[in-house]
Amino acid sequence: MMKTALRTAIILFVFSLMLISVKPVHAQCSQCAAQVETSSKNGSSAANGLNKGILFLLAAPYLAVTAVGLIWYKKYRRKNVNIDMPAKKLNLN
């Protein structure tokens, strides 16, 4: 009981530290950054399209892994397994 409470407290502490220490980053190639900066100065909405494209590319692997996991779960889960254990003593030697 105490170990699970301590483990939960540590996990919550680490998770809260990760949330507090979020810093904005500018991780773009120089061509993309220059294009977005120039187009946003001219009033274009290319930055919104670039951000949506990045989010789409970020979500695609997660969706693929989820689909494979769901198919695997549906295919290999056990249904109506009857476990009849014999009444005699088991020797595990």
Instruction: Give pTM, 2 decimals.
Output: 0.42
Interior angle at CA 50, CA 48 and CA 52, nearest 5: 70
pLDDT tens-place string over residues 12-63: 999 998 888 777 766 667 777 777 778 778 877 777 777 788 888 889 999 9
* Residue that is written with structure tokens 């295919």 in the block: 75
User: 66 lies in a domain?
Assistant: yes
Tokens at 53, concatenated: 């494209």
User: 37 lies in a domain?
Assistant: yes
Q: pLDDT at residue 1 above 70?
A: no
User: 85 lies in a domain?
Assistant: no
User: 19 lies in a domain?
Assistant: no
User: 56 lies in a domain?
Assistant: yes
Task: Provide the number of structural domains found in the chain.
Answer: 1
User: 10 lies in a domain?
Assistant: no
Query: Alpha-carbon distance 66 to 64, whole Å?
Result: 5
Give the structural domain span for 52: 28-76
SS3 label, residue 5: helix
